[in-house]
Structure 1
């Protein structure tokens, strides 16, 4: 069952720590974050704020508890509940069975179900009641409009026809593939050297293998481990969701940071959160809504749903893309 994303337990935090979190939540730019951290540059502000945010958010949220039903966060917009469920989308059979069981129940209760693009053909191709957003198509459209020099040409098929399922293909760069192999090797060595050693080595590998872009997209050894565990045992999805709820700063900060370093990657990662939220808001009727997205997108989609509810963001006229 989705928890209310506004239900924050801050009893374990001091007044100063709670105030720090609220100031960061209210920051709309890295320059404002620099004022909060007292650092000399926007770069230093982002680097310094990330671990503090993660630590305090972890204490604020508390230990994740097993969920009844499909875990996720809930945002209520004008009395209408939007449930955002982060998944691994690893195309694993345990996750497939788990999701299909719960989504069938949602549909039986006349709820709406929308997916991040690529998830429907993976898990729900025969579910007529499940729709798919156009977030990848939207991101590619904007990359071409901005004439951004692409470093992923050839890794994403240019067509998004239903028959091709191209969006479910490999969109990782060569560096990302190398990182995946490295983490797998570290994991396999745990039986020889022990879990503690493997975790420490994984953290070290994350430091050396992650560049500016990957720092902002949450691709590290911890997420690799949690995703693999949740794909095989979906009851662990709540732990993966908790990780991402702590790992990312609020969307304006993450998006500005990544946009400065790689505009294309920003469009294909955090910017799609905005598109998925807009898609759900535009296509909804009055029924409860369930959004099935990659776990890394759950915090960002919730951010935009809350911002829409609080009149802090609006998708305006819904953009139709070719």
Structure 2
């Protein structure tokens, strides 16, 4: 969700701009092999992640996103789509922030679409807000996989209950570890905190986590943004730096855990499709409220719709 225009690469050299462009236009791991000059797709993926984070970070640092607004809208068939990233940590500060988005949208005659689970958390009594079907669709696709499900034991309270359970179960150990790092930082300082955070990240996540930016830095930024929504743009910008293009991240994750791919990055595709499919002829603006980690992916697929590269043939809501 960069504030600068897509063609402005800030303080990068021509060679660095070309390299960043190659990384951001990749659609497969094979493309990363070409972009990095490494023969092994595994090595190319991690090298590309490091290089993208550096180059994209420097480009964004030259023109940081504003503290009070999402990125520039993506216009598809005359409708402007704005994607708002949140932590869905259920804090009073974030609740007021999300309800402010919905209130502004209502005043402007715009529509609001929410990642499934967010509407019930923050906007259950707001008529203008609509929950999408991203989790429901992900669970349906998981059920079709020829593999043992990680989710079957949790499917007992409906989709919204499952969302809550997934968050608690998958994050408990990682968040406890990172919380200890934060506490140590209060005593030994920020340099210690970051060094130990990097070590904790390497210890607590596998190959799957690399495709999710599931690390100490995202944890730290998420905690800060949950209490102060003015920090949400910094969190979204972090994910912008951390993620390679959606087809690449999805190919990587699908190879390591296809079910996890369906309940994470694949939902970005579904949310973009859902919003465009439901575009109302009387509405010229749509606000999408999604988890901060989903913003780069949802915007990626909205741009594909904008460019005419993503037809909705066969789309049907659940």
TM-score normalised by L of structure 2: 0.93
Segment of structure 1 superposing worse, 103-112 or 312-321: 312-321
Aligned to 1:193: 188
What's 2:238 paired with?
243
Q: C-alpha separation between the residues in 1 aligned to 2:174 and 2:155?
A: 19
TM-score (norm 1): 0.92
CA drift at 1:174: 5.2
Pairwise mapping of residues 37-186 of structure 1 onto structure 2 (< 5 A)? 37-62=36-61, 64-68=64-68, 70-157=69-156, 159-160=158-159, 165-172=160-167, 176-186=171-181
With 227-236 and 170-179 compared, the bigger mean Cα shift is at 170-179
Q: 1:49-76: per-residue Cα shift (whole Å, max 9, x none)?
A: 00100111112222534434x4344211
Aligned residues: 315
Aligned 8 A contact 1:115 1:291 in 2: yes
Q: Any stretches of 5+ residues in structure 1 without a counterpart?
A: none
Taking a change above 3 Å as real, the CA distance of residues 157 and 21 of structure 1, as seen in their structure-2 partners, is farther
Whole-Å separation in 2 of the counterparts to 1:29 and 1:243: 22
CA distance in 2: counterparts of 1:24 and 1:279, whole angstroms: 27
Residue equivalent to 1:211: 206
Query: CA 1:318–1:289 in structure 2 vs 1: closer, same or farther (change >3 Å)?
Result: same
What is the distance in 2 between the residues matched to 1:239 and 1:278? Answer: 26
Q: Deviations over 1:125-151 (max 9, x none)?
A: 110110010100000001112233212
- Give yes or no for contact 2:3–2:66 (8 Å, CA) kept in 1: no
Q: Which runs of 4+ in 1 moved over 4 A?
A: 2-6, 172-175
Unaligned stretches of 5+ in structure 2? none
* Aligned equivalent of 1:259: 254
Contact in 1 for aligned 2:250/2:261 (Cα 8 Å):
yes
Is the CA contact 1:114–1:131 (under 8 Å) kept in the aligned structure 2? yes
Q: Does 1:308 align with 2:294?
A: no
